[in-house]
A and B are shown apart, each in its own frame.
Chain A
């Protein structure tokens, strides 16, 4: 690499024009990059600056009052937390189980390749389509009604492909030597998976899973069709209750209610962004730590 750099330098001296073209192009690439980075930072900064004055303990711990124009957003936060927990419970065992089956048990061939393509494809299916599916299957066909359980199952289906793909990658990245060593000392296949493969693959599985959960927490379109209530100023009593949810609440306060004070909109946006940010931060930290420990 160093040699090629030295060689590059001597060439540059010979050819001034070449160097200028390169400078211009690299400046252009930098500009492209900044055109992505700066808006992102502005978006985050703007929400934080505008929302930080509203978000205090009473905003996140009180019921909304006066048709949501005053008070806090507690039921929306609680609703989103219920949905997130439900989504984790449904999607993790299924997703990781499917990934273990696909990588460790299923015979690799045309069928598994077909399944992989189907899963990858489903990762790119629009979230509103999952909403339709949830509405048709969970809300109507299975008779759950508009409820926490219908919403959590829908969100679980939405992130299932993400969890399967990332878990599969993580499991596949464990070198075969570990499996062989474990089998050679007499461990059974399941013992090998449980004690050798899964611990090594766990950081990858967790990173993908947490990013998926973050996505589920911020999704609006699927819960619009399966759970979300416009305004219920109380806590849910059972899994078959409707709840308010943060993303849907932000949608309502910013489009559906005339004369909504700005502070509540920005406050809700900040709480939602903060929640998603926490998931993102945890996933990023796990990944960075894992990267450092392996290299």
Chain B
């Protein structure tokens, strides 16, 4: 970088010196050549700027298209089914002669598995974030952070596979059930996937607090724990709330692992120890059986719209909370 600027500076100054000893014709030729060159440069620059503009706009257009496409296809369902029947119906028989498209059992399944996952992952996640931000020695911190990041990189299908061969057996044996494919199994799986998000966002929120907070509290005679409890956690609360919400968003959207370990029975789960089915699993499991633009196909897109709206609301609220937290931090 430095060399580059030096090089430019050098060539400029060198050309400046030389022009003094040249004839007028040479000067004219050179200035014409420069003009040509700068004209070419300017055209190149113009093209590149336009190209970047097009690339940028394309990327943003794609984002917009996602909304348009899902909503357009999903809304066709309501030519056949009313919104009330869709959201509040308890019966999901997409292939019957008199098909029913009620997704209440799936909404209940997603809600329960998310609540379970949050109950597990929020205390553990916030505890871990405090450990990383305030307690751990620097080297441990680096190593643990890499391990947590790797946890978030493990494909969900690998976790789902382990859920089948290991976790479901544990659940079956420890609760003395006939089948280990339960909402609880799904919640444990999802909490593993939500934890990295919760930990890293909460850790960022705590570490972003100015050192003065810590120093002032310690100087007043508070212990490290009292400082964390009375100063740091309240000050970082918006960031921590955002962390929890992003974790919820992650949990609602998880597909493969829950599909593999929850048994997928279409029912409103009566407890955490029975089978259930999420909205995501319904789309993944049934899309292969549908006909394009059939009612079933449209219904699965409509479920996609519900998922998109739920996660968008959560993401946007947490984005605003985080934004506020950053402002407060300053």
Q: Are B56 and A101 in contact (CB under 8 A)?
A: yes
Interface 9-residue window, one of B25-33, B88-96, B159-167: B159-167
Query: Does B154 lie at the interface of the complex (its beta carbon under 8 Å from any beta carbon of A)?
Result: yes
Query: Does A129 lie at the interface of the complex (its beta carbon under 8 Å from any beta carbon of B)?
Result: yes
Nearest CB of chain B from residue A111's CB, rounded to whole Å: 10
Known: A98-B56, A218-B154, A220-B156. A280 touches B130 (CB 8 A): no
Known: A7-B218, A254-B260. A189 touches B155 (CB 8 A): no
Query: Does A157 lie at the interface of the complex (its beta carbon under 8 Å from any beta carbon of B)?
Result: yes
Q: Are B307 and A126 in contact (CB under 8 A)?
A: yes
What residues on A are CB-neighbors of B64 within 8 Å?
118
> SS class of chain A's interface: helix, strand, loop or mixed?
helix
**B280 touches which of A18, A26, A221 (Cβ 8 Å):** A221
Q: How far is the CA of A27 from the CA of B9 in the complex (A)?
A: 60
Q: Are B223 and A8 in contact (CB under 8 A)?
A: yes
Known: A11-B221, A94-B55, A250-B158. A126 touches B1 (CB 8 A): no
Nearest CB of chain A from residue B182's CB, rounded to whole Å: 16
Q: Are B149 and A280 in contact (CB under 8 A)?
A: yes
- Report how many residues on chain B are interfacial, defined by Cβ distance under 8 Å: 99
What residues on A are CB-neighbors of B254 within 8 Å?
126
Nearest CB of chain A from residue B255's CB, rounded to whole Å: 4
Q: Are B162 and A4 in contact (CB under 8 A)?
A: no
Q: Are B148 and A128 in contact (CB under 8 A)?
A: no
Nearest CB of chain A from residue B240's CB, rounded to whole Å: 14
Q: Which residue of A lies closest to B42 (CB)?
A: A188
Q: Mark B298-317, 1 if CB is under 8 A from A, else 0.
A: 00110010011001101110
Residues of A within 8 A of B (CB): 4, 7-8, 11-12, 15, 18-19, 21-22, 25-26, 28-33, 35-37, 39-41, 43-44, 46-47, 93-95, 97-102, 105-106, 115, 117-133, 135-137, 140-141, 157, 160-161, 164, 178, 181-182, 185-190, 195-196, 199-200, 211, 214-215, 217-221, 224-225, 247-248, 250-251, 254-255, 262, 265, 269, 272-273, 276-277, 279-280, 284
